[in-house]
Amino acid sequence: MIVLACPGQGSQTPGFLAPWIEQPAGRERIEAFADAAGVDLVAAGTTWDADAIRDTKIAQPLIVAAGLLAAETLAEARGGADAPQAGGVAGHSVGEITALVLAGVLSAEEGMRLVGVRGRAMADAAALEPTGMSAVVGGDEAAVLARIDELSLTPANHNGAGQIVAAGSLSALAELAEAAPRGARVIPLQVAGAFHTAYMSSAVSALQDAAADVTPAEPRISLWSNRDGSVVGSGDAALHLLVGQVASPVRWDLCMAGFADAGITGLIELAPAGTLVGLAKRGLRGVPTVAVKTPEDIGAAVALLQEETA
């Protein structure tokens, strides 16, 4: 089984969208996504600097739009919707919106509308109190989790491959960096707040209100949830989990375990790619991977899919 992986916030870099919109069709799709999300994605993805696109309400729609365009480009290269595609999909954090669209649970327009709401609501929630996130790499997992708990922080992302992201107050994160668990490195992340924690409760309410207008379809392919790495059984459940995920930890480690249990034979990370392939190389050793960073990487992704169906 080939799995499509959809990255989350922090994967964006200045100008990364430029090669994707060189053709009129790509630009038209991004403009349509921008209208649905309420964000100037063309400017954000081509000319805005790192600080501008770090803004949560910009970064989240930008990442989802890029992933959707990359997936559409890959499908066209494979021969359109009727050609065999990947057998499963999962997204990290905001990438779950991309994943729900690719699984057929949401339309692209619905996904972009929801990510616009999500990004604005999480930015508003982050502005209520100074908080942040730091990656803890290495060390004994039990000791890392104990230290995070001792400082009243939350393990917001369990990314696997020896990486846990702590979230909470800036003072507690500073203490964590000053006295890290033995063998661990603490790396502050350039994000606006403590995502996937109780600090995001107001954002959950906003996204719930927006989701009330959506009638989800049933997943067409296997769709793994960040909640516990399980395959989601229905569209209603997928939408419910998507809303709650805003204030719940991301268990990407369990998603990768789920891929392994399902017999994954390859992983394709959609744009803006790199992070999830890096985790897979350590957490899913031996599984072939492709990071679709630019349209030039589509050929390698097609080749991996062709190997699966040969």
pLDDT at 82: 53
Give the confidence band of 85 by pLDDT, cuts at 50, 70, 90: confident
The whole-chain average pLDDT of the chain stands at 96
What span, in angstroms and rounded, lies between the C-alpha atoms of 195 and 254? 19
Q: Are the CB atoms for 205 and 243 separated by under 8 Å?
A: no
Mean pLDDT, residues 277-294: 96
**What is the percent of the chain where pLDDT is above 70?**
98
pLDDT(309) > 90: no
Helix spans in 216-310 (H) = 235-244, 252-261, 275-283, 298-309
Average pLDDT over residues 144-160: 97
Residue 94 is which amino acid?
V
Mean pLDDT within 168-197:
96
Q: Tell me: the pLDDT tens digits for 25-50? A: 999 999 999 999 999 999 999 999 99
Distance separating alpha carbons of residues 210 and 201, to the nearest angstrom: 15
The pLDDT tens digits of the residues spanning 217-269 come to 999 999 999 999 999 999 999 999 999 999 999 999 999 999 999 999 999 99
Give yes or no for residue 80 having a pLDDT over 90: no
pLDDT of residue 190: 84
Are 153 and 249 in contact by the 8 Å Cβ rule? The answer is: no
Give yes or no: 152 in active site. Answer: no
Nearest alpha-carbon partner for 100 in 184, 214, 194, 257: 214
Q: pLDDT-based confidence at 84, cuts 50/70/90?
A: low
Q: Can 196 be counted among the known catalytic residues?
A: yes
pTM over 0.85: yes
Cβ within 8 Å of residue 11, ≥6 positions away: 63, 272, 273, 274, 275
Residue 81 pLDDT level (bands cut at 50, 70, 90): low
| Catalytic residue chosen out of the listed positions 93, 222, 225, 248 | 93
Name the active-site residue from 196, 222, 225, 248: 196
Q: Which domains does the chain have, with CATH numbers?
A: 2-126+197-309 (3.40.366.10), 131-188 (3.30.70.250)
pLDDT of 283 higher than 70 = yes
Residues 182, 10: Cα–Cα separation, whole Å: 27
> Given a cut of 80, is residue 308 above it in pLDDT?
no
Q: Determine the Cα–Cα distance for residues 212 and 110; give it in Å rounded to an integer.
A: 12
Q: How far apart are CA 112 and CA 39, in angstroms?
A: 10
